[in-house]
Copies of this chain bind each other. A is one copy, B any other.
Amino acid sequence: MVALGAGSVGVVTPQSMQFDEPLPLQSGSSLAGYTLAYETYGKLNAERSNAVLVCHALNASHHLAGVYEGQPKSEGWWDNLIGPGKPLDTDRFFVIGVNNPGSCFGSTGPMHPDPATGQPYGSRFPVFTVEDWVDAQARLLDRLGITQLAAVVGGSLGGMQALSWTLQHPQRVRHALVIASAPNLSAQNIAFNEVARRAIITDPDFHGGDFYAHGVVPKRGLRVARMVGHITYLSDDVMDQKFGRSLKRDEETAGPAPYAYTTQDIEFQIESYLRYQGDKFSEYFDANTYLLITRALDYFDPARAFGGNLAAAMARATAKFLVVSFTTDWRFSPGRSREIVKALLDNRRDVSYAEIDAPHGHDAFLLDDPRYHGVVRAYLERVATQASAAPAGTAARVKGFAI
Contact = CB atoms under 8 A, between A and B. Distances in A.
A195 B224 contact: yes
Nearest to A262: B127
B298 A267 contact: yes
Contacts of A188: 231, 234, 236, 239-240
Interface string A119-146: 0000100010000000000000000000
Q: Interface SS of chain A: helix, strand, loop or mixed?
A: helix
Interface string A94-109: 0000000000000000
A351 interface: no
A274 B220 contact: no
Contacts of A185: 245
A267 B231 CA distance: 24
Contacts of A197: 263-264
A187 B244 contact: yes
Given A187-B244, A228-B228, A264 B291 contact: yes
A344 to B, nearest CB: 21
Name the interface size band of chain A. Answer: 35 or more
B268 A198 contact: no
A26 interface: yes
Contacts of A28: 261
A88 to B, nearest CB: 32
B187 A239 contact: yes
A343 interface: no
A360 interface: no
A245 B189 CA distance: 10
A363 interface: no
A285 interface: no
Interface in A237-282: 239-240, 242-245, 256, 259, 261-264, 267-268, 270-271, 274-275, 278
A195 B245 contact: no
A318 to B, nearest CB: 27
**Number of copies of this kind of chain in the complex:** 2
A24 interface: no
Contacts of A192: 231
Contacts of A27: 259, 261
A295 to B, nearest CB: 5
B198 A245 contact: no
A136 to B, nearest CB: 16
A264 B123 contact: yes
A254 B373 CA distance: 48
B187 A243 contact: yes
Contacts of A268: 187, 190, 194, 298
Interface stretch (A38-46, A164-172, A199-207): A199-207
A264 B209 contact: yes
Of residues A123, A197, A261, which shows the largest number of chain B Cβ atoms within 10 Å of its Cβ?
A: A261
Interface in A142-161: none
Nearest to A246: B187
Given A187-B242, A195-B228, A262-B295, 9 more contacts: A26-B261, A127-B262, A187-B240, A187-B243, A188-B239, A191-B227, A195-B231, A198-B223, A201-B264
